[in-house]
């Protein structure tokens, strides 16, 4: 965690997996009834910060969970995910489809990066994109705190990005799991609220 202030133009809101297939009631998870109020509230909560960053010259970059279509368009799903989410079907989280896109509330995003695992850095172009954009500081939000968010935050840390976890900008399927996950991340990154970052960006 850097003690030197990072300019807004080198700051990105990193939106983890806030996609239609996760969030929208007509998406893959919504159709299966796999949701939580804390998760559904995230896009509107984070939106003011996204808007302010855009206005000040910062970046909004989303990482989008992807099920790569294989032969016949059938999704390539890892065994553990098949066990956890048996409701996933052909077309879910497929690149180019509506469900794969970041929710409208947070559009437009500057760059959408496909991801295939918990960490958005694993076998993706995320680090390349961030370096090309000149990003040094990440404000991380999204879902789920104990999965994609935690893994991405840890991988950002080892890559020397100045990483800030938005405590109320991410969520899990239970409040307890969320709080335990946030506590586990405090030793490696700064933890702040959306309101605190709004004030900090507005005054920078």
Q: Note the pLDDT tens digit of each residue in 69-91.
A: 999 999 999 999 999 999 999 99
Answer whether residue 193 shows pLDDT above 90. yes
Answer whether residue 3 shows pLDDT above 60. no
Answer whether residue 174 shows pLDDT above 80. yes
State the burial class of residue 53 (Cβ atoms within 10 Å of its Cβ: 0-12, 13-18, 19+).
buried
**pTM for this prediction:** 0.95
Per-residue pLDDT, 52: 98
Instruction: Report, in angstroms and rounded to the nearest whole number, the Rg of the chain calculated over CA atoms.
Output: 16
DSSP helix/strand/coil, 182:
helix
Q: How confident is the model at residue 204 (pLDDT cuts 50, 70, 90)?
A: confident
Per-residue pLDDT, 5: 81
* Helix axes 194-202 and 42-56, enclosed angle (nearest 10): 10
Each residue's pLDDT tens digit, 8-64 = 999 999 999 999 999 999 999 999 999 999 999 999 999 999 999 999 999 999 999
Find the mean pLDDT for residues 165-194.
98
Looking at the domain 8-66+102-203, which fold is it?
Answer: Rossmann fold (3.40.50)
Find the mean pLDDT for residues 85-109.
97
Each residue's pLDDT tens digit, 123-143 = 999 999 999 999 999 999 999
Per-residue pLDDT, 2: 46
What is the rounded CA–CA span in Å between residue 139 and residue 145? Answer: 14
DSSP helix/strand/coil, 23:
helix
């Amino acid at each position: 965690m850097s003690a030197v202030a990072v300019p807004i133009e080198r700051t990105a809101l990193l939106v983890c997996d806030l996609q239609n297939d996760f969030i929208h009631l007509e998406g893959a998870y919504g159709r299966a009834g796999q949701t939580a109020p804390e998760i559904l509230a995230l896009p509107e909560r984070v939106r003011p910060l996204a808007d302010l960053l855009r206005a000040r010259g910062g970046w909004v970059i989303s990482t989008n969970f992807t099920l790569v279509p294989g032969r016949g368009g059938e999704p390539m799903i890892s065994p553990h995910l098949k066990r956890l989410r048996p409701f996933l079907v052909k077309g879910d989280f497929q690149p180019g489809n509506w469900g794969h896109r970041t929710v409208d509330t947070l559009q437009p995003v500057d760059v959408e990066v496909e991801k295939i695992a918990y960490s958005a850095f694993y076998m993706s172009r995320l680090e390349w994109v961030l370096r090309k954009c000149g990003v040094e500081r990440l404000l991380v939000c999204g879902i789920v705190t104990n999965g994609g968010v935690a893994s991405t935050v840890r991988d950002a840390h080892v890559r020397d990005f100045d990483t800030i976890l938005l405590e109320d900008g991410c969520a899990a399927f239970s409040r307890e799991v969320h709080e335990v996950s946030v506590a586990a991340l405090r030793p490696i990154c700064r933890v702040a609220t959306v309101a605190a970052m709004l004030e900090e960006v507005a005054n920078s």
